Chains A and B, each alone.
Chain A
């Protein structure tokens, strides 16, 4: 029992990634602040990167692929986050709030 608990393997990392993915998706769905939604998307990306690196670490000859894929994911997420923050500033200057529902109501 304790051997399985203390022998860290692929399964442990997959469970961690699933938990992080669920937390991130919950944040995207229930949060109403634009900043919080972007941060939750970052958490989702972290879970994806952990998944890639875990498979890359525990499956032979695939660590370099996992590193490349993780690098691309992190860069893409960073670009998306910085672009989103710039857009949020613009939205805030024109609307004085960053609540998605309020902005949707205003558009309607």
Chain B
């Protein structure tokens, strides 16, 4: 028996990933904004699948409709709608993806080790911190290190991978 929710999930997920890729690698700015709208639309549908209807409608109306229209108007005003795209070379992009995949795995292990993979534990962590009864000895994985490493890694990757001379407006 085919699960309808699974079919919906896979359709939405594939279109969402494709449109998110198109946001970055679309050859023209106009297509990038259209892909951005599709990203917002299909992410709203994914939220709907997760029974968060209010968030889905909120994001689609406020971000999907209003923000994309404003973005399109701004781009038309400064006449860069049809500018071509220039990014780094393919090898650099692949290397970046590999580094980020490793970072994602580290983050996943962090969540599973510290919070047992449950969001309720994460909110318990915030509540404990807010109530000032937080004991750092319970948390072996240093959270502040994760935040610092993330920021430093972004800055380093930008400086390493970007070439200086060919630019995109």
Contact = CB atoms under 8 A, between A and B. Distances in A.
Interface in A30-73: 30-33, 35-36, 39-40, 42-43, 46, 49-50, 52-57, 59-63, 65-67, 70-71
Interface residues of B, number: 67
Main secondary structure of the interface of B (DSSP, over half): helix
A4 B71 CA distance: 41
B20 A16 contact: no
B96 A30 contact: yes
B20 A20 contact: yes
A101 to B, nearest CB: 6
Contact of A50 (B47, B87, B154): B47
B146 interface: no
B138 interface: no
A20 B47 CA distance: 14
B158 interface: yes
A78 B67 contact: yes
Contacts of A14: 108
Contacts of A71: 54-55, 58
Contacts of A22: 97, 100-101, 104
B4 to A, nearest CB: 10
B21 A97 contact: no
B137 interface: no
A53 B52 contact: yes
Interface of B: 2-3, 5-6, 9, 13, 16-17, 20-21, 23-24, 29, 32-33, 36, 39-40, 43, 46-47, 50-52, 54-55, 58-59, 62-63, 67, 70-71, 74-75, 77-78, 80, 83, 85-88, 92-93, 96-97, 100-101, 103-104, 108, 117-120, 122-123, 154, 157-158, 161-162, 164, 167-169
Given A25-B96, A53-B47, 15 more contacts: A21-B100, A22-B101, A23-B24, A30-B24, A30-B87, A33-B168, A42-B63, A53-B55, A55-B118, A55-B119, A63-B51, A66-B52, A67-B54, A85-B71, A98-B169
